[in-house]
Amino acid sequence: MSPPLLSFWRAVAAILVLVASGARAEGLRRFALIVGNDEGGDDTRPLRFARDDARKMHGLLARLGGVAPGDAKLLLNESSKDFLAALTELEARAREARARGERTALLVYYSGHAKDGTLRLGNSRVGFEDLKKRLSATSADIRIAILDSCRSGALTRTKGARKAPAFQIESGAERDSRGLVILTSSSADEDSQESDALGGSYFSHHLASGLLGDADRSGDGRVTLFEAYSHAYARTVADTAASSGGAQHPTFSYDLAGNGDLVLTDLRAAGDGLVVPGLAPSGTYYFVDSAGMVVAELDKAPDLERRVALAPGTYRVKRRLSDRLRIGEVEVARGRQVVLEEARLRDAPFSDDPVKGVASAEGAWWTVGLSGGVQSFFDAPTRESLFLSVGLLGAEAQLHDYFRRDWVWGVDVALGGKQALLALPTLSGPAYKYSVMSLGTTLKSEWPRGSIAPFVGVRMAYLVMRRDFADAAYPDQKYAMFSPGLETGLRWQPLRRLHVTGRARLHYLLYTVDEQRSLGFWELGALVTYQP
């Protein structure tokens, strides 16, 4: 038997003994630190899905894992300093809860780069041994670390602590109803892997799918730590066996004396989800969101009812047969358990597979939105007589991560105008309407730091400016010219699909009035966009 399998079955035997001899660790005050970081420093390529994996785990633990919103911390592309500061805060809160007589559990989840025995958060580091000692000393009754450590590759990109020291916890001699468990996505000498089709890492996907219900083999509506791990282990090994990176073997290190098995998620907690009845055909069911990503899987045995705790929304359902698919659509309503009816599924050819995934060269995403701002020219006489300062309203579409990771290409249109009186050295008084139309395109680079992303880029705009006089005795005037420029600003993502951007633009233009002239202008604006 290979060493990874031998370690796995030793862990299985030890936990089964604990389950048989101890009560379940329930009634816990649960704290969670969820960290996702796509950046691993200057010598690594950015990951695609580490932040997404962290967002999914954060939402899942809040909805089904008994973690109150105020007891969870979500860090996206933050540094090791932020990581340790958040851990310190949660440790202090757990210590206060224990002082009040509460039993406590602290869960730390990390998805990102690891190399040479350290977690790589951008250009900062957290050592494996340092984290091990920190968790060992934490006063929480139960401590769980889930490490999906990774580095990027191609279509199925490898990610992980390549040839890093083993991260293991030895069984301690102290038996005081305290415990430390560490789950890792791969063994010490293996790479972990991401999947474009799954929109995340294999390990985190199968762990999350298990916590949503696929790992509930007992059918009691609760997923325990052991059920979740054994499910993620089996599915990760199976899915990566034929990949270019080779089979990936998650590991389970433990010192869980006197606690029994821990319930990680309660499928009944949210009150909503999907039930696959016992009479439904057996097989593997896939649940696909509107983006074509598999959010959960369910392995259905004959005559056994299964439950998957899907969040409210619309999902495509797929079950693969030998020569065709069975597909359909189901709506999960908030607070309701929906039963999947076989009659609502239809036969379809494999070409109609709803699982589209994200092509390796096409992992792009769109945002569309509305903008507002002000445009003004630097030269005061020109600003007062020829090109006036005006407010602008516009619309914009942006394509992210298409040409290169964290590059954004945008196209925009904006309109503005005002009523004015002509003011020239030789003539004043006639009223006119001044209007501006701007058509532009921008290519910029972002540097995401959690929910904040500063950026800088280059821009080209085509400006059309008009003066339309109320008095027909004065001819209307029109100016049209190209204007190159620069753009900088900050994008903030307060919600998963909502982005708010503040920006400044600096432009230069040539124009001819009696002779060729040049001047510059600036724009300040804000943009609110939605990510479909």
Chain segment 232-244, per-residue pLDDT in tens: 888 888 888 877 6
Q: Is the dihedral of CA 99, 101, 102, 108 positive or negative?
A: positive
* CA–CA distance, 478 with 512 (Å, rounded to integer): 11
The 8-class DSSP code of residue 279 comes to T
* CA–CA distance, 407 with 400 (Å, rounded to integer): 6
Q: Please give the biggest Cα pair distance in the chain.
A: 99
First to last CA, the chain: 48
Task: State residue 375's pLDDT score.
Answer: 93
> Which amino acid, residue 479?
Y
Write down the residue that tokens 């957290």 correspond to.
126
Nearest to 74 by CA among 35, 102, 113, 103: 35
Both tokens assigned to 531: 């990510």
Q: For the stretch 56-71, what's the b/e string if a residue is b when 16 or more beta carbons lie within 10 angstroms of its beta carbon?
A: bbbbbbbbbbbbeeeb
DSSP assignment of 430-487, as one string?
Answer: EEEEEEEEEEEEEEEEE--BTTEEEEEEEEEEEEEEEEEESSTTS--EEEEEEEEEEE
> Which amino acid, residue 246?
G
* CA–CA distance, 106 with 90 (Å, rounded to integer): 8
Task: State residue 153's pLDDT score.
Answer: 24
Contact assessment for residue 110 and residue 35, using Cβ atoms and an 8 Å cutoff = yes
Task: State residue 108's pLDDT score.
Answer: 95
Q: Strands 118-121, 158-159: parallel, antiparallel or unpaired by DSSP?
A: unpaired
Task: State residue 1's pLDDT score.
Answer: 47
**Phi, psi of 386, rounded to the nearest 5 degrees:** -120, -60
For the chain, which residues score pLDDT lower than 50?
1-6, 8-26, 151-177, 259, 356-362
Contact assessment for residue 299 and residue 308, using Cβ atoms and an 8 Å cutoff = no
Residues paired with 252 in a beta bridge: 183
Both tokens assigned to 330: 């189901």
Both tokens assigned to 165: 């020291």
On the 0-12 / 13-18 / 19+ scale of CB atoms within 10 A, 30 is buried
Task: State residue 361's pLDDT score.
Answer: 37
Give the DSSP H/E element, type plus range, for residue 226.
helix 225-240
- Counting residues of the chain whose pLDDT is more than 90, the rounded percentage is 39
Task: State residue 515's pLDDT score.
Answer: 67
Give the DSSP H/E element, type plus range, for residue 180.
strand 179-184
pLDDT in tens, 53-106: 999 999 999 999 999 989 999 999 899 999 999 999 999 999 999 999 999 999
* CA–CA distance, 315 with 286 (Å, rounded to integer): 10
* CA–CA distance, 134 with 139 (Å, rounded to integer): 10
Q: Strands 477-495, 452-469: parallel, antiparallel or unpaired by DSSP?
A: antiparallel
pTM: 0.63
* CA–CA distance, 337 with 330 (Å, rounded to integer): 12
Within 10 A of 233 (CB to CB), how many other CB atoms are there?
A: 25
